[in-house]
C-alpha cells in the first residue's frame, strides 16, 4: 500500500458488531484510527467503554485514545439492546477486564481534538446512536472544516428494525440524527438495507474461531454470536457495523445515490424513520408549492457482499488488503 492512510475517528456503542468494526479498523493498513468515542446504545456507556477497551487490548491495537460520551440520548430515555447483544452488550464471551483506561476528557472533547489535530481531514464513522456526534457538532462546529466525510451506520430506506420503519441508531436519538444530517458535511448513510446483507460464510467463521491469533479468534467468536431473540434458522456471521468501516477502506464496494433524507421527529409510529426521497420527479406536494429543504445524503443502496467479506477476512487474519 503506497498512499497515506485515511485518518478516521469511530464513535461506537460496542456492541458485537462495533467490536468487529474496531478490530477491522485497527488492522487495516489504509486506516489510521485516531480516537474512539463511546456512547450509550447497545448497553450503558460504562459497559461500552469497557467493551471497547477490551476489544482494542485483545486485538493488540496501538494505544488509541478511548473516551466516555453521553449516557443517554438528547430527549429519549436510554433503551439498550441487551436482548440482541447479551448481558455485557458484547456477546457474553467472558473476556477479561481491560488493563487500558479511558482518557480523562469526554468523548466530545476527544473527538474535537482528534479531528482538529489531524494533519489531513478525518473521516468520522459513527456506528451507534448519534448523541455524541450531535453534541460535538453543536459544541464545536469548527470541526466540520477538518471532516472529509461522515459515514454513519444508521437509518433504512426500506424496513426498520427497532420499529417497522426506524433503525435502532436513529430511533434511539432521532434529534441527534437530524443534527448530523443537517450539518452541511458530506455524509454517507450506511443503512439497514446494506448492513443486513453482509454475512461471513460459516466455514470462514469456524476457521477464525480456531485461529491461534487472539484478534482473529475474537472476530470468529463475535461472528458466531446469535441474536438470542431469533431462532437458530436465522443466519449468523453478520459484519454489521464493520461493513461501514469496510466501505471507508474500500469505497468501490458500495453503491450510493445522492438523495434527500429527513428524519421523522414527530411522536408516533414513524418517529426515527429516515424518509428517503427516491422519486424520479417532483410529486403533487411540490406541484402544490409544498417544498421543503432537505439535506442531500449519499445513501447506500447496494453492496458487493463478496468483496467486503473477502476484505474483512484478509485484514483480521493479518493479510494484505486484496485490493490496494
Angle (nearest 5°) at CA 201 between 196 and 206: 125
Q: How far is CA 259 from CA 278, 292, 296, in A?
A: 7, 14, 5
Q: How far is the CB of 166 from ligand BDR (least distance, A)?
A: 9
Distance in angstroms (rounded) separating the CA atoms of residues 250 and 310: 12
Taking CB under 6 A as the binding criterion, the range among 1-9, 14-22, 245-253, 268-276 that sits at the site for ligand BDR is: 14-22
Which is nearest to 237 in space by CA: 205, 203, 208?
A: 205
Task: Give the binding range for ligand BDR (CB under 6 A) out of 10-18, 178-186, 262-270, 286-294.
Answer: 10-18
Instruction: Give Cβ neighbours of residue 222 (< 8 Å, ≥ 6 apart).
Output: 16, 17, 19, 20, 23, 90, 91, 93
CA gap 48, 210 in Å, rounded: 26
Assess contact for 156 and 199: CB atoms under 8 A: no
Give the Cα separation of 63 and 60 in Å (integer). Answer: 9
Q: From ligand BDR, Ca ion, none, which one binds at residue 240 (CB under 5 to 8 Å depending on kind)?
A: ligand BDR
The entry of ligand BDR, Ca ion, none near residue 51 (CB within 5 to 8 angstroms by kind) is none
Q: Which of 7, 8, 9, 17 binds ligand BDR (CB under 6 A)?
A: 17
Instruction: Between 16 and 313, name the residue whose CB sits nearer to ligand BDR.
Output: 16
- The grid cell for 135 is 453534541
Measured between alpha carbons, how far is 306 from 312 in angstroms, rounded to an integer? 10
**Continuous segment of H or E residues that includes residue 299:** strand 296-303
Among Ca ion, ligand BDR, none, the one that 161 touches (CB under a kind-dependent 5 to 8 A) is: ligand BDR
Query: Minimum distance between the CB of residue 90 and Ca ion, rounded to whole angstroms?
Result: 11
Q: Rounded to the nearest whole angstrom, what is the least distance from the CB of residue 17 to Ca ion in the complex?
A: 6
Q: Which residues, in sequence order, are CB contacts of 80 under 8 Å at separation 6+? A: 40, 41, 42, 43, 44, 89
Site string for Ca ion, 128-167 (x = CB under 5 A): x---------------------------------------
By CB under 6 A, tell whether 168 contacts ligand BDR. yes
Binding ligand BDR by CB under 6 A: which of 15, 91, 174, 220?
Answer: 15
| Contact range with ligand BDR by CB under 6 A, out of 67-75, 90-98, 164-172, 265-273 | 164-172
- Binding pattern for the stretch 220-249 against ligand BDR, x by CB under 6 A and - elsewhere: --------------------xx--------
Taking CB under 5 A as the criterion, the residue among 47, 58, 127, 273 binding Ca ion is 127
Q: Which regions of 133-281 does DSSP assign to beta strands (E)? A: 147-153, 187-190, 254-263, 274-276
Helix or strand (DSSP H, E) at 296 = strand 296-303
What mask of x and - would describe binding to ligand BDR in positions 127 to 156, judged by CB under 6 A? xx------------------------x---
Instruction: Tell me which residues touch ligand BDR (CB under 6 A).
Output: 15, 17-18, 42, 81, 84, 127-128, 153, 161, 167-169, 240-241
Amino acid at each position: 500500500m503506497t498512499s497515506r492512510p485515511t485518518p478516521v475517528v469511530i464513535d461506537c456503542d460496542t456492541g458485537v458488531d462495533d467490536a468487529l468494526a474496531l478490530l477491522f479498523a485497527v488492522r487495516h493498513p489504509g486506516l489510521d484510527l485516531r480516537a474512539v468515542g463511546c456512547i450509550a446504545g447497545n448497553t450503558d456507556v460504562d459497559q461500552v467503554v469497557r467493551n471497547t477497551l477490551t476489544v482494542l487490548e485483545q486485538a493488540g491495537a496501538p494505544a488509541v485514545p478511548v473516551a466516555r460520551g453521553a449516557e443517554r440520548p438528547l430527549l429519549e430515555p436510554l433503551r439498550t439492546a441487551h436482548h440482541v447483544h447479551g448481558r455485557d452488550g458484547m456477546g457474553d464471551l467472558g473476556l477479561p477486564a481491560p488493563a487500558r483506561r479511558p482518557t480523562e476528557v469526554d468523548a466530545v472533547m476527544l473527538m474535537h481534538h482528534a479531528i482538529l489535530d489531524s494533519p489531513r481531514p478525518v473521516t468520522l464513522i459513527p456506528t451507534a446512536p448519534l448523541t455524541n456526534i450531535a453534541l460535538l457538532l453543536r459544541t464545536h462546529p469548527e470541526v466540520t472544516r477538518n471532516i472529509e466525510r461522515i459515514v454513519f451506520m444508521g437509518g433504512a430506506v426500506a424496513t426498520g428494525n427497532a420499529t417497522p420503519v426506524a433503525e435502532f441508531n436513529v430511533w434511539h436519538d432521532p434529534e441527534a440524527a437530524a443534527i448530523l444530517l443537517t450539518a452541511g458535511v458530506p455524509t454517507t448513510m450506511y443503512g439497514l438495507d446494506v448492513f443486513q446483507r453482509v454475512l461471513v460464510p460459516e466455514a470462514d467463521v469456524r476457521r477464525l474461531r480456531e485461529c491461534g491469533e487472539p484478534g482473529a479468534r475474537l472476530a470468529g467468536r463475535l461472528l458466531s454470536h446469535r441474536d438470542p431473540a431469533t431462532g437458530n434458522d436465522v443466519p449468523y456471521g453478520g459484519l454489521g457495523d464493520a461493513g461501514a468501516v469496510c466501505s471507508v477502506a474500500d469505497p468501490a464496494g458500495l453503491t450510493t445515490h445522492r438523495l434527500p433524507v429527513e428524519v421523522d421527529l414527530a411522536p408516533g409510529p414513524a418517529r426515527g424513520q429516515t424518509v428517503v426521497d427516491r422519486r424520479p420527479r417532483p410529486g403533487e406536494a411540490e406541484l402544490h408549492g409544498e417544498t421543503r429543504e432537505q439535506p442531500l445524503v449519499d445513501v447506500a443502496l447496494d453492496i458487493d457482499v463478496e468483496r467486503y467479506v473477502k476484505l474483512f477476512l484478509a485484514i483480521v487474519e493479518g493479510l494484505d488488503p486484496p485490493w490496494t
